[in-house]
Structure 1
Amino acid sequence: MFWLMKGLSLSNSETIKQVHNSFSRQQMFEFDSKLPDKDNDVFHFVGYLPINGRLYELDGLKDGPIDLGKCDQNDWLKVVKPVIEQRMQRYSAEEIHFNLMAIVSERKMIYNREKEKLEARLLALQGQGEVMETDDASCQSESDIKSEISRLNLLISDEEQKFRKYKIENIRRKHNYLPLIMEIIQVLAREGKLVELVEKAKEKAVAKKAEEEKKEKEKTK
């Protein structure tokens, strides 16, 4: 029941819905249809989690978690791998009906936690003249601790830069470029350049296909 309630909470979250829908495929026209399409597949998330030495499948379309058997808590991927492969084999090789994602801790958060521990250790060293007792013996001197903090600062800066890049990419991915494309096509048509460009594109596509077929034949020789 806990997993069912957790799934319902996630599916009823307006914030998650808005973020998810913002990445939907752009359409030239918006249709408000409340009737389900029987020809469309039901796309949803299926999760796999190791809990207390057992591997569970969490499917939002099922009543509860499915126990897939025993697993090593520290090496459970070898158990889930054939399960995922079996799900992927339901589709033909020419089609992509799934995306595989891993949920992991944010690296910036991990680095910040390590940095906070080192900064506390450094303060203790500077204030007491000795290093606090710790299981980590890699940083015992003040210079070692400062060096490790500098390294973590660089890693944190890299993560921040990465997320700034992701933000720009997400803006571009969600932006609807279709009106701009349609306007460019109309301008090209009015100037009499559209047919010529289409013919060149066809020739380029034919040449590319011929080149790929040639390479395939060379591989089979």
Structure 2
Amino acid sequence: MESAGDWCLIESDPGVFTQLIKKFGAKGVQVEELWTIEDSIFENLRPVHGLIFLFKYLQHEEPSGPVVTDDRLEKIYFAKQVINNACATQAIISLLLNCNHPDVDLGPELSKLKEFSMSFDPKMRGLTLSNSQTIRSAHNSMAQQTLFEFDPKMATKDDDAYHFIAYMPIEGKLYELDGLREGPIDHGAIAPEQDWLDVVRPIILKRINVYTEGEIHFNLMALVSDRKMIYERQLEEHLKEVQMLGMETDITENEIPKLRMFIEYEDAKMARYQLEMVRRRHNYLPFIITLLKILAEEKKLLPLFEKAKERAAKKGPKKMKV
């Protein structure tokens, strides 16, 4: 049996996070990667329920706003991170358990977790989450197959550490949900006519600008409503309109085939995510050993090794990417 400490590292990838949500039993949402934070990218993704931000963790970084420790914690689900490598799961669960939208169905496991631990303080919520066998198993099922085991004690103080946090609107305010803090960070009120994404944009950009020039190890993902579900809903509305009128209008004539194409695209994307997950979990070591043996027998292994060394020397040292 796994101990509470056996949590794997999770790749920052929309397919991984979408599969993770399904493993939790939640429905009606998926994760999309964002290549920019400009408003145009959100146009076809709304509603956006929250953002997940991956960044290089800096020790002793001051919170960028007041930390909530008052009675708002009775309504905001915030869990303190008490276990290593759990920040990815905590970020996505924080968004899901604070999301109040008709598209989002938490499913039995997350509903039970929220009901059971909502009255706890943040540390007890974190302990409850990290000791959930279902949550931990779902998290660890996202692990990438490793060919070799490395001793974690070999890591040095100079090694880069990366961390996931979440941003979302809750009851008219923007909050940052970072399990390493004592509570949610309050980024202030969102005006009634204001899009919460316009409020969060400068906060994320300011955070990125803290780092040295040329630092590119950031990743931003959005928790959005299930795209296929939305397209199917729109398609149904257009088909009803056609049925009522007995004929297609200019709008439905263009929209119906477009929506069917979008639905096919989402099906293909989810199939690709599943295939990528199988490849992540597959053990390629027997194949690699057999290939190396064949290359050695044909005296091709050493020349290939020398070429690889030359190529690596020309490129110079590389920074770790996450």
User: What TM-score does the superposition give when structure 2 sets the normalisation length?
Assistant: 0.48
CA separation of 1:58 and 1:93: change in aligned 2, threshold 3 A: same
Q: Of 130, 140, 147, which residue of structure 2 is paired with 1:21?
A: 140
Q: CA deviation at 1:41?
A: 7.2
User: Rg: which structure is higher?
Assistant: 1
> Which structure has more strand as a fraction of its residues?
2
Contact 2:143-2:280 within 8 A present in 1 as well: no
The alignment-based identity, stated in percent, is 46
Q: More displaced, 153-162 or 78-87?
A: 78-87
Q: Does 1:167 align with 2:274?
A: yes
Query: Within 2, Cα distance between the matches of 1:109 and 1:64?
Result: 34
Counterpart code for 2:196: W
Query: Within 2, Cα distance between the matches of 1:43 and 1:174?
Result: 22
After superposition, the C-alpha distances for 1:70-122 in whole angstroms (9 at most, x for unaligned) are 33565333432343244445655677665321111222111111122223333
Query: Within 2, Cα distance between the matches of 1:206 and 1:30?
Result: 26
Counterpart code for 1:56: Y
Counterpart code for 2:234: E
RMSD: 3.7
Q: Does 1:64 align with 2:171?
A: no
Query: Within 2, Cα distance between the matches of 1:16 and 1:96?
Result: 31
Q: Runs of 5+ in structure 1 lacking a partner?
A: 127-141, 210-221
> Which structure has more helix as a fraction of its residues?
1
After superposition, the C-alpha distances for 1:29-85 in whole angstroms (9 at most, x for unaligned) are 45899x9x8957775531101234321111223343221113356533343234324
Structure-to-structure mapping, 1:48-87, within 5 angstroms: 48-72=167-191, 74-87=194-207
Q: SS in structure 2 opposite 1:57?
A: strand
Query: Within 2, Cα distance between the matches of 1:14 and 1:112?
Result: 35
Query: Within 2, Cα distance between the matches of 1:146 and 1:92?
Result: 51
Query: Within 1, Cα distance between the matches of 2:178 and 2:313?
Result: 44
Contact 1:55-1:67 within 8 A present in 2 as well: yes
Q: More displaced, 80-89 or 102-111?
A: 80-89
Q: Which residue of 2 aligns with 1:104?
A: 224
Q: Which residue of 2 aligns with 1:129?
A: none
Counterpart code for 1:64: G
CA separation of 1:94 and 1:183: change in aligned 2, threshold 3 A: farther
Counterpart code for 2:220: L
Q: More displaced, 179-188 or 152-161?
A: 179-188
Query: Within 2, Cα distance between the matches of 1:176 and 1:90?
Result: 40
Contact 2:173-2:187 within 8 A present in 1 as well: yes
Counterpart code for 1:4: F
How many positions carry a matched residue from both structures?
A: 192
After superposition, the C-alpha distances for 1:162-219 in whole angstroms (9 at most, x for unaligned) are 222332233223323234223322332344321111112223344566xxxxxxxxxx
Q: Runs of 5+ in structure 2 lacking a partner?
A: 1-73, 80-92, 98-112, 115-128, 317-322
Q: Of 307, 311, 317, which residue of structure 2 is paired with 1:200?
A: 307
CA separation of 1:42 and 1:202: change in aligned 2, threshold 3 A: closer
CA separation of 1:116 and 1:51: change in aligned 2, threshold 3 A: same
Q: Does 1:4 align with 2:124?
A: no
Query: Within 2, Cα distance between the matches of 1:125 and 1:192?
Result: 74
CA separation of 1:28 and 1:205: change in aligned 2, threshold 3 A: closer
Q: Which residue of 2 aligns with 1:188?
A: 295
CA separation of 1:16 and 1:94: change in aligned 2, threshold 3 A: farther
Q: SS in structure 1 opposite 2:177?
A: strand
Q: SS in structure 1 opposite 2:270?
A: helix
Higher RCO (CA-CA < 8 Å; seq separation 6+): 2
Contact 1:26-1:178 within 8 A present in 2 as well: no
Contact 1:91-1:97 within 8 A present in 2 as well: no
Query: Within 2, Cα distance between the matches of 1:155 and 1:25?
Result: 30
Q: SS in structure 1 opposite 2:166?
A: strand
CA separation of 1:208 and 1:67: change in aligned 2, threshold 3 A: closer
User: What TM-score does the superposition give when structure 1 sets the normalisation length?
Assistant: 0.65
Q: Which residue of 2 aligns with 1:138?
A: none
